C-alpha cells in the first residue's frame, strides 16, 4: 500500500485514481476496429478476433447443444450457486417492475399519457479479460428478461462452461464467441452472421467501454461501466484481514481496476498493509496482481473528510466498515452501490445479494445508476391536444415566436384569429 496525504477532497480523489492506475491504455485502435467491422463485416470480425483474442471459430454462434451440455457438465455446487444468484437477481428486478406505474391525466383539454415499453433487442456483453464472468451475464440477461426484452443476445470472447450454463439459466437463446470492440461494433451495425440490436449493455475493460462510448447513438447503451472500483472507509472497529481481502478481491479483476482504503486510524492502515503482504506471500497470484496490490492507495484522515472524499470520487462501490455507519451513510451522495456495516462487502453485490453489479464507474455515478429493468424501458410521454385555443393563447404563442425571430411561427399562431 502507498500512503497519500489528504489535501482537498477533489485533489485527493484525483491522487487516489492516478496512484493506482497502470499506464493508460492506447485506445486509438478502437475507432479503427469499429470502422473496419462496419465496412468489412465478418471478415473484419475474424481478423480482429484472431489478432486480439486468439480465437477464430468457424461459427461465432455457440450451438444450443453445447450450451446445454455445459450446463449438464457443470459441477453441482457451481450450478446451484448460479441458480441462486439468478433467483435473487430476478426477484429484485421483479420488485422494481411491480412498482412501475403507468399514468394518464387530462388538463383543460390536454390529454397526457405516460407509459413504458421495453426495447426489442439487446446485446448482453460478458467480459473475458483475465476471467470469464458468468455472474455478469446473469446480471444483464436476467434483468433484460424481466423487463420484457423480446430478443436477448449474449457475447463473450472465451466463454467458460460456467458462462455457457449461465446463458442457459438466463434463457439466452443466442450466445456468440466474440469479444472486445469488434463484438460491440458487429451488434451495432450487423454483419453477415451477427444481427443488429437496439441496445448494448454490460461491463468491460477500457476498450469495451470506449467502444460503447463511440457507438452510443448508433445503439443505446446502459451506462459507462468500465474497470471495477472500490473505496473502503473504516474506523478502529474494522477487521484488517477482511479489509485486505475486500481490497484484493476488486484489485484482482484486471490491471486497471481500482481499490483504495481510507481511515482515521494509522494503526489500522498499517495492519491492513501487513495483511495484504501476508496474503500475497501465501497465495499463488499473477505478478501483475502482486505489483498492483503493493500500490493500493491509503489515506489517513477524519471520517468527515472521508465522506467528502467519497463524494468527490463517486466510485462504483463504497464500503462503510464502521461501528456506527448510519450517520455517515446518509451523507454519501455519489456511488454505484453502498455496503453499510462491517459484515457487508462488495463481493455479495458481485454475486448474490440481488442488486445488480453492472454499475457506473469513473465518477459516472454523478449522473447515472446501476443497470435495472428501467434500463431496458423506453418511457413514452404522449400528449393529445383537444382544447379550444383562446385568443389569449394565440397572442402568447404569436408574441413568443416574434420574440425569437421566427416569422412563420408567429403567423401560424396569429392566423388562428381568422378561423
SS3 of the chain: helix, strand, coil, percent, to 5:
50, 20, 35
129: left (phi over 0), alpha (psi -120 to 50) or beta: left
CA distance 136 to 416: 58
Please give the angle made by the CA atoms of 307, 311 and 312, to the nearest 5 degrees: 115
Nearest Cα neighbor of 89 from 377, 358, 361 is 358
Which three-class secondary structure state does DSSP give residue 253? coil
Q: Are 147 and 46 in contact (CB under 8 A)?
A: no
| CA 213 to chain centroid | 13
The span from the CA of 388 to the CA of 110, in Å, is: 10
Backbone torsions φ then ψ of 335, nearest 5 degrees:
-170, 160
Q: Which of 253, 255, 317, 357 is catalytic?
A: 317
Which conformational region is residue 379 in: left (phi greater than 0), alpha (psi within -120 to 50 degrees), or beta?
Answer: beta
Query: Which set of grid coordinates corresponds to residue 294?
Result: 503493493
Q: 407: part of which helix (H) or strand (E)?
A: helix 407-414
Catalytic residue at 317?
yes
Is 35 tagged catalytic?
Answer: no
Catalytic, out of 102, 316, 357, 402: 316
Whole-angstrom distance, CA of residue 86 vs CA of residue 134: 10
Catalytic center residues: 316-317
Amino acid at each position: 500500500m502507498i500512503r497519500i496525504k489528504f489535501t482537498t477532497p477533489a485533489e485527493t480523489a484525483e491522487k487516489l485514481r492516478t496512484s493506482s492506475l497502470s499506464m493508460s491504455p492506447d485506445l486509438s485502435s478502437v475507432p479503427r476496429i469499429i470502422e473496419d467491422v462496419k465496412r468489412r463485416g465478418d471478415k473484419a470480425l475474424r481478423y480482429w478476433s484472431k489478432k486480439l483474442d486468439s480465437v477464430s471459430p468457424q461459427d461465432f454462434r455457440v450451438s444450443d447443444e453445447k450450451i446445454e451440455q455445459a450446463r449438464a457438465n457443470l459441477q453441482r455446487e457451481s450450478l446451484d450457486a448460479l441458480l441462486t444468484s439468478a433467483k435473487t437477481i430476478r426477484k429484485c428486478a421483479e420488485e422494481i417492475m411491480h412498482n412501475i406505474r403507468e399514468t394518464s391525466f387530462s388538463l383543460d383539454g390536454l390529454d397526457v399519457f405516460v407509459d413504458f415499453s421495453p426495447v426489442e433487442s439487446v446485446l448482453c456483453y460478458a467480459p473475458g479479460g483475465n476471467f470469464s464472468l458468468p455472474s455478469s451475464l446473469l446480471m444483464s440477461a436476467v434483468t433484460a428478461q424481466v423487463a420484457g426484452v423480446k430478443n436477448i443476445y449474449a457475447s463473450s470472447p472465451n466463454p467458460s462452461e460456467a458462462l455457457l450454463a449461465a446463458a442457459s439459466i438466463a434463457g439466452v437463446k443466442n450466445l456468440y464467441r466474440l469479444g472486445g470492440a469488434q463484438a460491440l461494433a458487429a451488434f451495432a451495425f450487423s454483419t453477415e452472421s451477427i444481427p443488429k440490436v437496439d441496445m448494448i449493455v454490460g461491463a468491460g475493460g477500457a476498450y469495451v467501454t470506449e467502444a460503447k462510448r463511440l457507438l452510443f447513438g448508433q445503439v443505446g447503451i446502459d451506462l459507462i461501466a468500465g474497470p471495477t472500483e472500490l473505496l473502503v472507509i473504516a474506523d478502529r472497529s474494522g477487521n484488517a484481514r477482511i479489509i485486505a481481502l475486500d481490497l484484493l478481491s476488486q484489485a484482482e479483476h484486471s490491471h486497471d481496476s481500482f481499490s483504495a482504503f481510507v481511515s482515521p486510524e494509522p494503526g489500522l492502515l498499517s495492519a491492513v498493509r501487513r495483511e495484504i503482504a501476508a496474503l500475497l506471500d501465501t497465495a499463488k497470484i499473477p505478478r501483475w496482481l502482486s505489483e498492483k496490490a503493493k500500490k493500493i492507495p491509503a489515506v489517513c484522515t477524519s471520517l468527515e473528510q472521508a465522506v467528502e472524499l467519497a463524494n468527490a470520487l463517486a466510485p462504483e462501490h463504497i464500503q462503510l466498515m464502521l461501528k456506527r455507519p448510519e450517520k455517515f451513510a446518509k451523507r454519501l451522495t455519489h456511488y454505484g452501490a453502498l455496503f453499510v456495516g462491517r459484515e457487508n462487502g462488495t463481493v455479495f453485490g458481485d454475486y448474490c445479494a440481488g442488486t445488480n453489479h453492472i454499475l457506473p464507474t469513473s465518477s459516472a455515478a454523478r449522473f447515472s445508476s446501476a443497470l435495472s429493468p428501467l434500463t431496458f424501458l423506453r418511457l413514452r410521454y404522449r400528449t393529445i391536444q383537444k382544447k379550444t385555443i383562446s385568443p389569449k393563447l394565440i397572442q402568447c404563442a404569436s408574441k413568443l415566436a416574434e420574440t425569437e425571430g421566427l416569422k412563420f411561427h408567429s403567423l401560424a399562431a396569429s392566423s388562428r384569429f381568422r378561423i
